[in-house]
Amino acid sequence: EAQVTQNPRYLITVTGKKLTVTCSQNMNHEYMSWYRQDPGLGLRQIYYSMNVEVTDKGDVPEGYKVSRKEKRNFPLILESPSPNQTSLYFCASSPDRYYEQYFGPGTRLTVT
């Protein structure tokens, strides 16, 4: 089944404790992206990747890191999480930035 998977689905952590949210797709897509979704603010892009080893900042990259060492994986790293990073996070992939994006199931992160 073609899909985007994210892990974990739910995470509660404390300020400053490094964490990684994994994202994997099995559709051989070139383009992958991370979004956060907050009430009243909609979906905002954090980082995106056009291909392996090619990543770039989106609208809200502060406090986040990404890497794309393999085509299928695009982990999101929070080196020192803070409460303002409490949000719902979505990973998405697409054959190309101009096409439909396929979203993962989401990761609900709470930072206390």
| For another protein, the closer CB: 81 or 104 | 104
DSSP letter (8 states) at residue 100: P
Instruction: Looking at residues 63 to 102 of the shown chain, list those that interact with another protein (rule: CB under 8 A).
Output: 90, 97-98, 100-101
> In the complex, what is the shortest distance from the CB of residue 25 to another protein, in angstroms, rounded to a whole number?
13
Positive or negative CA dihedral for 79, 85, 86, 91?
negative
Which letter does DSSP use for residue 69 in this model? S
41 versus 54: smaller Cβ distance to another protein: 41
As to burial, measured by CB atoms within 10 angstroms (0-12 exposed, 13-18 middle, 19+ buried), residue 89 is buried
Six token digits for residue 69 = 């060492």
Among 93, 104, 109, 111, binds another protein (CB under 8 A): 104
Residues 18-57 binding another protein (CB under 8 A) are 35, 40-45
Whichever of 79 and 96 has its CB closer to another protein, that residue is: 96
Residues with Cβ < 8 Å from 30, sequence gap 6 or more?
A: 50, 51, 71, 94, 95, 96
Footprint of another protein on this chain (CB under 8 A)?
Answer: 35, 40-45, 58, 90, 97-98, 100-101, 103-106
